[in-house]
Chains A and B, each alone.
Chain A
Amino acid sequence: MTPLLSVRDLRVGFGKGDAVKEIVHGVSFDLHPGETLAIVGESGSGKSVTALSINRLIDYGGGRILSGAIALRTRKGEALDLTQTSPQRMEKIRGAEIGMIFQEPMTSLNPVKTIGWQLEEAFRLHRGLSGAAAHKAAIEALERVRIPDAERRLGYYPHQLSGGMLQRVMIAIALATNPRLLIADEPTTALDVSVQAQIMALLAELKRETGTGMIFITHDIGLVAGIADRVLVMQAGDVVEQGPLDQILDAPQHPYTQHLLKAVPHFAGGEAVRHDFRRVDALKQRPALTVDDLTVRFPVTSGLLRRKTGAVHAVESVSFDLMPGETLAIVGESGSGKSTTARALLDLVQPVRGSFEVRGLEGKSQHRPVQMVFQNPYASLNPRLNVESLLAEPVRAGGGRLTSAMRDRMTYLLARVGLPTDSLTRYPHEFSGGQRQRLCIARALMVDPSVLVLDEAVSALDVSVQAKVLELLVDLQKELHLAYLFVSHDMAVVERIAHRIAVVYAGQIVEMGDAAAVLSNPQHSYTRRLIAAVPTIERRRERFELDTRSVPSLVKPIGYEPREASWISYGPDHKARAEELSA
């Protein structure tokens, strides 16, 4: 069988003239019709550059194909070397022969045009349809990606649809012309786990239906399992290993592949939880943090006079306590209110009701005993301040001065979190993502906090870096007897660090308890759904069911108060909210 796409010794570089820096050093692979190739690698491995070179979008990103050949067999059967094709010809090929799905569905669609217009455009440009015919084709395309009520949705603008829906629209546009090759560049990275599972299921089904060849780019080797036929692993611009799926996952040959497979936190259904903390013993002490009936609402106004017409019930009656040395993970999807809970504890948002009490460490400064580490280490450090100023800020804010004792503490903490001690005079851009996150941790520890709020603190990091930062966090917790509030959407990471878990859904805690109990024996239907959606290598042969249920709206009219929750206990430290049977 002749391959659909054959890439030979592809080298891609960035820069002009003598300053060309080669990013991809000779990639070769074949892709047969109907086959899915997954390209796996961490950030900077050249996986996206490789994919963008195939449809030559790299030309617009400052890159250049230095050598090699990309042979595409077109619909008419001719073999075309894409490295030699003219830009005019490429415009025809993109779309007609090669479809592309990007990572961010929110930014890949034009916000001022309806999705129907954008879908019909694809049919107008590539299939010559117009008017009613294009409209009909657009409806069919939306139905093909399982969007219910397709005809009405055509009139929607992108901001009216959720991320998962938008990604379906993107897929529909990419598939509008029946491309022979589909390139999906991290199509689910920006989405929630359960939405991710649905998009993966959809892609797998569409692949079976249409016989399209697909290149699937991801940093998550766990995700590859459900969709790929072949896997290609990249590291720093080189292909380190490629082969059939089962061979790569079961018998990886290259040390880097083995390392990747080991570094990815595999979700183990509660078997991999930590056992270094016994809550029963800790209960004799006073909790480091007690949260009682915390409620956060944001007013919704409408009309010319900004009348209050309701409120977004972001956090609804959340109560928990956190012992010194304990990690409580708050798990949920985006919009569930997990980050708002964390932000309320740091006075970044004002609760409308409820209280929380923090207890500082014995004998330490009582200034700001709760500190926070943010998700994005690139945004949470002021790029114009050097490390010394950055680390000094929390101390200065508490009225402290830059003394030699404080400098000693800085060098000690830098060394403790694994950064070179000569970092003090350097600036954030000189550090990698993982190093910056270590810097943020060191900064939070400058004032001896008793509680550390980690808001998706490892989500933005590459898997191998993620594992090391988690390790650091566990060590620091034991050493300093810190209480962690670990906010995350990633069940596999949560399993590695949490002692207890609180699952939040639509602003409310629906299940809470001992980590092992919640993960191995989930009781609330939402927890079950969340756990079922986690992609794992072990579950690679299972088929995901498409689920089109939508999250209930958080916007409630004025005066709305939710019903008192009734809890059902499932063990010594495991309870779940009773569900209404009508749903």
Chain B
Amino acid sequence: MADLLRGLLRHPSGRIGGAIVALYIIVAVLAHLGVTPYDPIQQFRIDRLKPPSGAHWMGTDMFGRDVLSRLMVGIGQSFLVAFASVGISAVIGTALGLTAAWFGHLWDGVVMRLMDILLAFPAVLLALLIIAVIGPGTGTSVMAIAFVYTPIFTRVVRGPALSIKSRDFVDAARTFGSSRVYILTRHLMLNLVAPLTVQVTLALAWSLLTEAGLSFLGLGTQPPASSLGLMLSESGNLMEMAPWLLVFPGIAIMLGILGFNLLGDALRDILDPKTRSALA
């Protein structure tokens, strides 16, 4: 773990990506604790559509709400959805991938063909379909995004798991009579930590984007609560009058995705033994 942090600090894109992600996490935590400059849903009637100033750093929106506060809460909301959905899809995807690789035959065929079908649909479209069926809301967004990204984890896990399964140390474990659970967790899972870490980081970036897209379409977070996508959608008609309404959430989404992608790239380099020596 300490090695991982040291590696991140030494890696150029790891430094930048790590800093951005750390900043976002701090902001998200603050927002959830309620530490924002103003109440994000309180309306200051006189201060409608004010450009950025000393009192409102990022200006105010059409209801006179503080954009910075709404942005912080929006980041908090987007992160909550992203982390929850990626967490769920990582657990389910890993379990499916591991069992598919381990049992093989029919189970492998059924699971992987199902995943292929899910992957054939564009992510947002599939999420839209699910929300259209169950109805919008934060919980639905989490479930929909988790559902969409499960096949990716299944695939990422199944490949390496198949090759690890045929390694001698797994055969050795069988000769000791080790239980299936022990072999799957200690021998297979432990050796999958590296590819999974990278995949989780990258999936966080995508699900951030998917969440923003769903909210933009009005199917994710519901007003008056705040989310990055929702802020973008609300600013659409006022683009020429109050560009700050569009610019700040836009930059926040872009920077967040950039941060996770840089971090993911860095982790991939650090955890891959082939490039690790070149960086050391």
Q: Is the interface of B mostly helix, strand, loop or mixed?
A: helix
Complex contacts, A379 vs chain B, CB 8 Å: 167-169
Contact A372 B190 (CB under 8 A): no
Residues of chain B from 57 to 109 with CB closer than 8 A to chain A in the complex: none
- B175 contacts A376, CB within 8 Å? no
Which of A371, A372, A380, A382 is close to B186, meaning CB atoms less than 8 Å apart? A382
Task: Establish whether residues A396 and B182, one from each chain, have CB atoms under 8 Å apart when the complex forms.
Answer: yes
Contacts of A443 in B (CB 8 A): 172
Chain B residue with minimal CB distance to A379?
A: B168
How many Å from the CB of B106 to the closest CB on chain A?
Answer: 13
CB within 8 Å for A371 and B175 given contacts A384-B191, A389-B186, A397-B182? yes
Are B177 and A398 in contact, with the CB atoms below 8 A? yes
Tell me the minimal C-beta distance from A207 to chain B in angstroms: 38
Q: With contacts A382-B187, A384-B190, A389-B186 known, is A348 near B167, CB below 8 A?
A: no
Indicate whether B179 reaches chain A with its CB closer than 8 angstroms. yes
If A384-B191, A396-B178 touch, whether A348 touches B169 (CB-CB below 8 Å) is no
Given contacts A382-B190, A384-B190, A385-B186, are A368 and B173 in contact (CB under 8 A)?
no
Smallest CB-CB separation from A372: which chain B residue?
A: B175
Contacts of B191 in A (CB 8 A): 382-384
A394 within 8 A of B: yes
How many Å from the CB of B10 to the closest CB on chain A?
14
A374-B193 Cα distance, complex, nearest whole Å: 25
Given the contacts A383-B191, A384-B191, A393 and B173 also touching, CB distance less than 8 Å: yes
CB distance from A450 to the nearest CB of B (A): 14
Which of chain B's residues have a CB closer than 8 A to the CB of A394? 176-178
> How close is A277's CB to chain B, nearest CB, in angstroms?
26
Q: Are B187 and A397 in contact (CB under 8 A)?
A: no
Answer whether residue B171 sits at the interface, using C-beta atoms and an 8 A cutoff.
yes
C-alpha gap A375/B167 in the complex (Å): 12
Q: Are A374 and B178 in contact (CB under 8 A)?
A: no
A75 vs B162: C-alpha distance in the bound complex, in angstroms? Answer: 51
Mostly, the A contact residues are: loop
Closest CB in chain A relative to B128 CB, distance in Å: 39
Task: Tell me which residues across on chain B come within 8 A of A440, comparing CB atoms.
Answer: 172
Q: Given A396-B178, A397-B176, A398-B177 in contact, is the A374-B190 Cβ separation under 8 Å? A: no
Q: Is A92 an interface residue (CB 8 A)?
A: no
A397-B178, A398-B177 known; A374+B171 contact, CB < 8 A: yes
Q: Verify if B113 is at the interface (C-beta below 8 Å from A).
A: no
- Counting CB contacts under 8 A, is B276 at the interface? no
**B175–A346 CB distance below 8 A:** yes
Chain A residues in 8 Å Cβ range of B174 = 346-348
Contact in complex: A348, B187 (CB < 8 Å):
no
Whether a CB of chain B sits under 8 angstroms from the CB of A286 is no
Instruction: Digitize A352-393: 1 where CB-to-B-CB distance is under 8 Å, 0 elsewhere.
Output: 000000000000000110111011100111111100010001
Interface size on B, residues (CB 8 A): 18
Q: Are B177 and A372 in contact (CB under 8 A)?
A: no
**Min C-beta distance of B271 to chain A, whole Å:** 12
Give the residue among A381, A393, A394 with the most B Cβ atoms within 10 A.
A393
CB-based contact A368/B178 at 8 Å: no
Set B171, B182, B193: member contacting A348, Cβ < 8 A: B171
Give A443's nearest chain B residue, CB to CB. B172
Q: How far is the CB of B4 from chain A (nearest CB, A)?
A: 14
A397 touching B179, Cβ below 8 Å: yes
Query: Complex formed: what's the CA distance from A348 to B190 in Å?
Result: 23
- How far, in angstroms, from A367 to B177 measured CA to CA in the complex? 9
> Is the Cβ of A374 less than 8 Å from the Cβ of B168?
yes
Contact, CB under 8 Å: A348 / B186: no
Residue of chain B at shortest CB distance from A370: B175
Find chain A residues with CB under 8 A from B171 CB. Answer: 343, 348, 374, 380
Q: Indicate if the CB atoms of A368 and B175 lie closer than 8 Å.
A: yes
Q: How far is the CB of B247 from chain A (nearest CB, A)?
A: 43
For B169, the chain A residues whose CB sits under 8 A away are 379-382
What is the chain A residue whose CB lies nearest that of B189? Answer: A384
Shortest A448–chain B CB gap in Å is 13
Annotate B168-205 by CB proximity to A: 1 below 8 A, 0 otherwise. Answer: 11011111111100100011001101000000000000
**Which residues from B are CB-within-8-Å of A371?**
175-176
Chain B residue contacts of A374, Cβ below 8 A? 168, 171-172
What is the bound-complex CA distance between A383 and B186, given in angstroms? Answer: 11
Q: Are A348 and B175 neighbours in the complex by a CB distance under 8 Å?
A: yes
Q: Which residues of A contact B179 (CB under 8 A)?
A: 397
CB contacts (< 8 Å) of A348 on chain B: these are 171, 174-175
| Alpha-carbon distance between A343 and B168 when the two chains are bound, in angstroms | 12
Give a binary string over A560-577; 1 marks a CB under 8 Å from any B CB, 0 the rest: 000000000000000000
For A495-523 the 0/1 string (1 means CB < 8 A from B) is 00000000000000000000000000000
Interface string of B149-179 (1 = CB under 8 A from A): 0000000000000000001110111111111
Whole-angstrom CA separation of A385 from B188 in the bound complex: 11
Complexed CA–CA distance, A396 and B177 (Å): 9
How far apart sit A382 and B179, CA to CA, in the bound complex (Å)? Answer: 16
- Evaluate whether A368 and B168 lie within 8 angstroms (CB atoms) in the complex, with A382-B186, A382-B191, A384-B191 already known: no
B137 CB to closest chain A CB (Å) equals 40
The CA-CA distance from A381 to B173 in the complex, in Å, is: 10
Interface centre among A346, A347, A367, A382 (most CB of B within 10 A): A382
Given A382-B186, A382-B187, is A347 in contact with B175 using a C-beta cutoff of 8 Å?
yes
A375 to B174, CA, bound (A): 16
Q: Give the docked Cα–Cα distance between A424 and B171 (Å).
A: 22
**Candidates B168, B173, B182, B193; contact of A376 at CB < 8 Å:** B168
The smallest C-beta distance from B219 to any residue of chain A, in angstroms, reads: 42
**Inter-subunit contact A397/B177 (CB<8 Å):** yes
Write the nearest CB–CB distance from A98 to chain B, whole angstroms: 28
Question: Complex: how many Å from CA A368 to CA B176?
Answer: 7
Asked whether, in the complex, the Cβ of A368 is within 8 Å of the Cβ of B172, the reply is no
Chain B residues contacting A447 (CB-CB under 8 Å) are 176
Known: A343-B171, A440-B172. 20 other contacts (CB 8 A): A346-B174, A347-B174, A347-B175, A348-B171, A348-B175, A368-B177, A374-B168, A379-B167, A379-B169, A381-B172, A382-B169, A382-B186, A384-B193, A393-B186, A394-B177, A396-B182, A397-B176, A397-B177, A397-B178, A398-B177
Interface residues of B (CB under 8 A from A): 167-169, 171-179, 182, 186-187, 190-191, 193
Q: What are the 4 tightest A-B residue pairs by CB atom distance, in nearest-first order?
A: A380-B168, A394-B176, A379-B168, A384-B190
- Between A and B, 25 residue pairs with Cβ closer than 8 Å are A346-B174, A346-B175, A347-B175, A348-B175, A367-B177, A368-B176, A368-B177, A370-B175, A372-B172, A372-B175, A374-B171, A375-B168, A381-B169, A381-B172, A382-B169, A382-B190, A383-B191, A384-B193, A393-B182, A393-B186, A396-B182, A397-B176, A398-B176, A398-B177, A440-B172
